[in-house]
Structure 1
Amino acid sequence: MKRLENKVAIITGGAGGLGAAEAVLFAGEGAKVLITDIKEDGLRDVSNQITASGGTVHYMKHDVTSEQDWNEVVKKAIELYGSIHILVNNAGITGNILNSLEETSLDEFKKVVDINLISQFIGIKAVVPHMKKNKGGSIINISSIAGLVGSAKATAYTASKGAVRSFTKGAAAEFAGDNIRVNSVHPGYVDTPMTKGLQNSEEFKKMAIGITPLGREAVPEEVAYGVLYLASDESSYTTGSEMVIDGGNTAV
């Protein structure tokens, strides 16, 4: 039996990077997947890839900061598949991660927090009633090693990802009685479209690899396998946890 057989999963930020890798992996493990993003071309490409491999997938354009959009996504998942078992809050942005605190505008700070944190609150609020009907579910919030350790600059990103870590623990405690597990994943440096601007900076890339004991960046699939574990029943006793997938970055 496949690891996500008969499960229904919503994955945000599914047009590329981690979200796309998760969607492909989940569908391959038997899940019925609804992927969302603001980038419809990317969603279409990922959907075609999954369909070509025999997987079950639909996609929707989705502003994760919109409560109305979230309600439409959840409604669509129920219409298509009848239930929701898994939510991966994957959508996120870095903002201008090379700006100092003094160079960061209030509007930019709020935008990063809205997309990285507030969207997860709205999403969980929208899916939990349906997970309660299922008598269980798994929610995975994508954070970052920036949610565990501080760094100069990137204050908006660090603040949002640190809040995701604490928010996850609060939600895990609140919904444990409903058999709804909530965990966070903390990737290190991953080669994704979101970090493309940073990848183009040789100085940043050299720094990132230099402080990572394994001596390289991750590829999205290496993080997606950790998310798969948390989504599956294999992690049935895991909630409120932090899964760190960072090549040893936070170990030194």
Structure 2
Amino acid sequence: MRNKIVDVKNVSAAMALLENLLTRSQIVPGMGLIHGESGFGKTTALQYLFNLDTTNGVYVRCCASDTPTSILNRIAKECGLVSTGRAYQTLDSIIECVRRNEFSLFVDEADYVVGSKKIMESFRDIYDNTEQPVVLVGMEEIARRISHRKQLHNRISEWVEFKPADLQDVATFAYELMEIDEHIQLDDAVLDHIRVKSRGVVRTILSALSKIERSVNGNPPPDGVVTMDDISSLDLFMTVARN
């Protein structure tokens, strides 16, 4: 399987979110939110945005044990700053660095800290004092929880809900990532089987495609089309036997 980011619908939506934040009018708030269920590719898409040559930003990942001091220290480190140990001083240093360098701030796994008023207000303070884009990423519940924080919610002008991969997405993953003979294709029934059984979860889709790839390279179909019969003996999805 090739190691690359595939421009499926969720990735395209995330790219549009960042572009809209970067090119927004000065009167439009500049915070963004990417949310959705686990396994739909949020972190992968966020890291892709962060690593684009055109992106000038700072990426941090929240942890379940984070405190206001720990998360600010992590942001400061990514900004190339030496933490002072006092949260308010660290925040001031971050604000100055973000403003001076025109950094965008990408905060992954923000659902871990959405319950902390101090941490969420720190993200808002960074935005308010720099007007540089701040993109929060979290699970499906984060949107509802942020909606109860009106001061923060009112600053979010762009939001994307990551959805399960559809049939076209699965076909794109297969075409772009599978390292098989270019004349071999997966039948639509196979692709839809993967979509249904995976429930659109990207990790599960890639795992199934990887197993098909190995099978096809070892025993390619004579007519060049991988059918349901060809994959019937493959354990593409983890099943638990019941006694």
Would you call these one fold, judging by a TM-score over 0.5? no
Higher relative contact order (CA 8 A, sep 6+): 2
> What TM-score does the superposition give when structure 2 sets the normalisation length?
0.37
> What TM-score does the superposition give when structure 1 sets the normalisation length?
0.36
